[in-house]
Every structure is written in structure tokens, then in C-alpha cells.
């Protein structure tokens, strides 16, 4: 409360009006996030209800189909097989991409030698190479892992090389002045300095690897989520065909969110610099 004086000088007490409690910025952002998340399923369901084609199904039908596929175990079995292919291919492609990216960004000679191959293969539609790989490696697990690793390799290698080239030379000279070995320079200077580019490359590799899993399963052994999409779409079971698609979308979103958290923990200066 505040005391003020009126026109004749008599003091009186004035009670301030309470401020309206508004939503915080975090609450507004969360509300916008949920609104955007629910908008597409609602529009999709409404469209499926008014559409004349029986092949157009909505989220409710897809959820019911997912329940049935979970009950008979087909969805879990396919998801497990696809997850093994994705994990092995992603790990192999990321590891080789990191190594080649650091070498290309670090040494000019390696860059000159490998740049024509990396540029040419990156520009080549990798889908066109899949039949050749299948003939060479067969239709089993190994072929699918190699296909996924190829899709994951290029984003990681190219972004890592760009990040290593962007590390200031002053830091390199500082490491040399302290007699740091090459491996110590990689660990203390190059990898931390290129970390934003590396994380970006891994994010891109996740999306490309999920695509590669489905493409590999379309072309190789009849297993995994790709097989479920293929066989159900050929039988016009549209709800069952969309269930693996939704699983892949959810997987990509979860991995992307996880990588953002890893980035915030390993390189918090990235978030501060973007504020």
C-alpha cells in the first residue's frame, strides 16, 4: 500500500491494483509445441472421415492397427530387426566418417587425394548403387549394414572436415608450443572445436540412415519395418502400412531430440552463442 496526499493535503492510503498473471514464455512455447503437434493428426483424421476413398485412413485406424500388430508380435519383431541394422550401420558410418573427416580437414595432402572421390560419391544417388551392393554382398544383414553405413558416412565426414578446417590456427600453434602430440591435438583442439559441425553431421546422418534402413529392407531380405510397409501396401492394408512409417518418424524425432541434449551437455557454448 502507498500513502498519497489529496488536493487539501490529507494523506490517504491507496491500494495498488494486482497485476494480471500472464503465461510465461516457457508455457507459451510449450502450448505452441503441443498445438503444432496435434494440428496435423486432427486435420488428417477429419480428412479421412470425409474422404470417399476407403484407402484413406486416419490416425485412429492406424492406432488400432498398431495395437493389433503389437498383439501378434509382428511390429516388435520388425522393429528389433530394423533397429539392429540401423545401430550397426550408423555406428560404422559415423566412426569412419569422423576419421576421414578429421584427416581431410587436418591434412592438405589427404584432402587433395580424397576430395574427388568424396565429392563424386556424395553427388551420386546412392540408391543406384544398392543393387550392385546386393549382388556383391548378398541379401543378408551385412548388405543392409553396408548400405546404412554409406548413407551415414557422407554427412558426418563432410561436416567434420568443415569443422576441423574452421578451428583457428592459433589454437593449433598453441598446442604445438606445449609439445602436444597429434592425438592430443585431436582430442583437445580439433574435436572440441569441430563439435558443432560434428553434431550437425550426425543429425543429418540419423535421418539418412533411417531412409537407408527402409530402402535396404525393400531391396534385400524380407524382414524389418521396410518389409511391413511393402507387404501391407501391396495388400492395400493402408493402416498396417502406415504403422511402421509412424514408428520411423517417432524414432527420428526422439534421436534428434537426444542429440540436441547431448550437444547442450558437451558444448554448452553453442546454445549461449545462439541466444
CATH label of the domain that carries residue 189 = 1.10.3720.10
User: Any idea what DSSP says for residue 73?
Assistant: T
% the chain with pLDDT above 90: 14
Report if residue 226 sits inside a domain: yes
15 pLDDT exceeds 60? no
pLDDT digits (tens, 9 = 90+) for 65-102: 888 888 888 889 989 999 999 999 999 999 999 999 98
Residue 15 lies in a domain: no
Whether 44 is covered by a domain: the verdict is: no
Distance CA 75, CA 67 (A): 9
- With cell 554409406, the residue in question is 150
pLDDT confidence tier of residue 62, bands split at 50, 70 and 90: confident
pLDDT of residue 148: 92
**DSSP SS3 for 5:** strand
The cell for 34 is: 503441443
96: in domain: yes
Note whether residue 6 is domain-resident.
no
Banded model confidence at residue 171, pLDDT cuts 50, 70, 90 = low
Per-residue CA distances from 109 to 79, 104, 123, 185 (Å):
43, 8, 22, 18
Mean pLDDT of 149-172: 85
Question: For residues 79 and 225, is the Cβ–Cβ distance under 8 A?
Answer: yes
- The sign of the CA dihedral 57, 58, 64, 67 is positive
Query: What range does the domain containing 165 cover?
Result: 67-267
On whether residue 161 sits in a domain, the answer given is yes
Q: How many domains does the chain have?
A: 1
**Residue 194 CA to chain centroid, in angstroms?**
18
- Cβ pair 205, 214 in contact under 8 A: no
pLDDT at 14: 53
Q: Does residue 237 sit within a domain?
A: yes
Residue 240 to residue 232: CA distance in whole angstroms? 6
| pLDDT at residue 5 tops 70 | no
Q: Report residue 256's pLDDT band, with 50, 70 and 90 as the boundaries.
A: confident
pLDDT tens-place string over residues 202-237: 988 998 999 888 888 888 767 788 888 888 888 888
Residue 39, domain member (yes or no)? no
Q: Provide φ and ψ at 182, rounded to 5°.
A: -65, -40
Amino acid at each position: 500500500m502507498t500513502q498519497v496526499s489529496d488536493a487539501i493535503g490529507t494523506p490517504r492510503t491507496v491500494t495498488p491494483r494486482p497485476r494480471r498473471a500472464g503465461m510465461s514464455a516457457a508455457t507459451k512455447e510449450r502450448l505452441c509445441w503441443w498445438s503444432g503437434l496435434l494440428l496435423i493428426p486432427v486435420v488428417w483424421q477429419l480428412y479421412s472421415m470425409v474422404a470417399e476413398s476407403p484407402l484413406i485412413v486416419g490416425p485412429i485406424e492406424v492406432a488400432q492397427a498398431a495395437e493389433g500388430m503389437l498383439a501378434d508380435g509382428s511390429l516388435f519383431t520388425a522393429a528389433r530387426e530394423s533397429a539392429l541394422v540401423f545401430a550397426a550401420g550408423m555406428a560404422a558410418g559415423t566412426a569412419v566418417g569422423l576419421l576421414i573427416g578429421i584427416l581431410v580437414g587436418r591434412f592438405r595432402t589427404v584432402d587433395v587425394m580424397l576430395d574427388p572421390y568424396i565429392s563424386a560419391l556424395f553427388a551420386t544417388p546412392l540408391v543406384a548403387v544398392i543393387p550392385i551392393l546386393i549382388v556383391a554382398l548378398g541379401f543378408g544383414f551385412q548388405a543392409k549394414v553396408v548400405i546404412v553405413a554409406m548413407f551415414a558416412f557422407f554427412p558426418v565426414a563432410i561436416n567434420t572436415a568443415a569443422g576441423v578446417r574452421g578451428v583457428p590456427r592459433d589454437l593449433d600453434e598453441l598446442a604445438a608450443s606445449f609439445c602436444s602430440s597429434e592425438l592430443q591435438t585431436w582430442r583437445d583442439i580439433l574435436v572440441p572445436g569441430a563439435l558443432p559441425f560434428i553434431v550437425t553431421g550426425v543429425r543429418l546422418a540419423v535421418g539418412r540412415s533411417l531412409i537407408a534402413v527402409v530402402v535396404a529392407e525393400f531391396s534385400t531380405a524380407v524382414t524389418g519395418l521396410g518389409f511391413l510397409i511393402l507387404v501391407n501396401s501391396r495388400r492395400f492394408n493402408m493402416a498396417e502400412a502406415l504403422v511402421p512409417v509412424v514408428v520411423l518418424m517417432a524414432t527420428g524425432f526422439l534421436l534428434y531430440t537426444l542429440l540436441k541434449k547431448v550437444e547442450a551437455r558437451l558444448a554448452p557454448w553453442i546454445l549461449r552463442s545462439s541466444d
